[in-house]
Structure 1
Amino acid sequence: MTTPAFDLETAAAEVEAVVTAVADTDFDRPTPSGISVGALLAHIVGFTEAFRQGATKEMLGRSQPPAPGAALAPDWRDRIPAQLKALAAAWREPSAWAGDTEVGGVVAPASQMAIFALDELVIHGWDLARAIGAPYAPPASDLAVLQGFLRDTPREGIPGLFGPVVDIPAEAPLLDRVLGLTGRDPAWSA
């Protein structure tokens, strides 16, 4: 069995805290990712379940790319926290980290998919927090994993995943440097 390299629980809990702070009047606010808060919440519903399935490997050979413009589930206030907990629990299993898995029609080593899941949680948690003005402080250990993962991001970004790299001073906080590698400006405001 493979030992989990990191735990998604703290990142999931940080996202949950921000999600619970979203007011119905926030749905149309812009986010740093270029979509509305409502659309980002719909994306969170989708990726939390997709990456949970990636941990269990239940969708090998059957996963589909996310549908653009998915509607936000009416029960999102209950669903997202439950799915965040299930996601973290699924990746706590040593078997989740072994072999290959599939998420959104992409097959990759499970350990790489876990990093993608962490990236989705941390970066979209920041997007959501920034859009609604909520506090957000992911742990340095999660940011260190992401910095290593994103370190070789091409300057022009990766279409569909990350925008062009934003230059951030080396002495800036680690969160700011990680955000810059995803094409986000840490000083973004609505």
Structure 2
Amino acid sequence: MIDLTPAATRVARVVDGIDDTRLQDPTPNEGMAVTAVLHHLLGLTVAFGDAAAKVEGPTTQTPPAVTEEPLPAGWRGLLHERLAALARAWSAESAWEGMTTAGGVTFPAEACGLVALDEVLLHGWDLAVATGQDYEVSDEEAEAVLPVVIPSGDAEEDAAAREGMFGPPVEIPEDASTFDRALALSGRDPRWQPAAG
């Protein structure tokens, strides 16, 4: 069991720092502009919150889809509420017990909680670097999500498991930070920067 509150609070601060003029800017998540990542966060916070409560229904049974539709009115406040609710949902010991479903996949609740943390951490970083904001993740959080992003070594199994979630791992220096390792293993380049101009 791990506390998702620091990650949720950190991403909420990033959300507050996003100017409306940056909503169509690219992010390190290939093919997703800032708006698409925000939509994804709006959806996954509900899905993984419901997964913590073992809810069976559309929110947990539906795989995520990329959308560039306009954001809902009051999206910043809505994301604040959903991030806080996600952290609260996973603060219950029962959330980490047994089996649950998210994105149409049923798996151990303990693994689901780590995937929820991973999603918040990685997409928070996507938004932060895309919009020029600082983003510091603790080693404890980064260590917790490493098992989520480390390939198993079975090429066929990895291709199926990582499809739609992660790209091919990126090479980084051996002395890279734990979070940079997590980013690289998820297919993100920790040195990514928005194109100049």
Residues 96-135 of structure 1 correspond to what in structure 2 (within 5 A)? 96-135=95-134
Q: Are 2:152 and 1:184 equivalent residues in the alignment?
A: no
Distance between the aligned counterparts of 1:188 and 1:116, measured in 2? 23
SS at match of 2:63: coil
**TM superposition shift of 1:151:** 2.8
Change (3 A) 1:126 1:16: same
Per-residue deviation, 1:60: 5.6
Counterpart of 2:21 (choices 13, 18, 25) is 25
Change (3 A) 1:27 1:70: closer
Of residues 37, 53, 62, the one that matches 2:50 is 53
State how far apart, in whole Å, the 2-side matches of 1:18 and 1:56 are.
Answer: 27
Output the CA distance in 1 between the equivalents of 2:99 and 2:88.
Answer: 19
The C-alpha deviation readout for 1:106-139, integer Å capped at 9, x for no partner, is 1111101101101101100100000000010011
Percentage identity across aligned positions? 40
Higher deviation after alignment, 167-176 or 91-100: 167-176
Task: Structure 1: state its 5+ residue gaps.
Answer: none
Number of aligned residues: 186
- TM-align CA RMSD: 1.8
TM-score normalised by the chain length of structure 1:
0.91
Distance 1:41 1:139 in 2: 23
Higher mean C-alpha displacement, 147-156 vs 26-35: 147-156
Deviation (angstroms), 1:59: 2.3
1:173 alignment partner, one of 177, 180, 184: 177
SS in 2 for 1:170: coil
Q: Distance in 2 between matches of 1:25 and 1:183?
A: 27
* Stretches (4+) displaced over 6 A: none
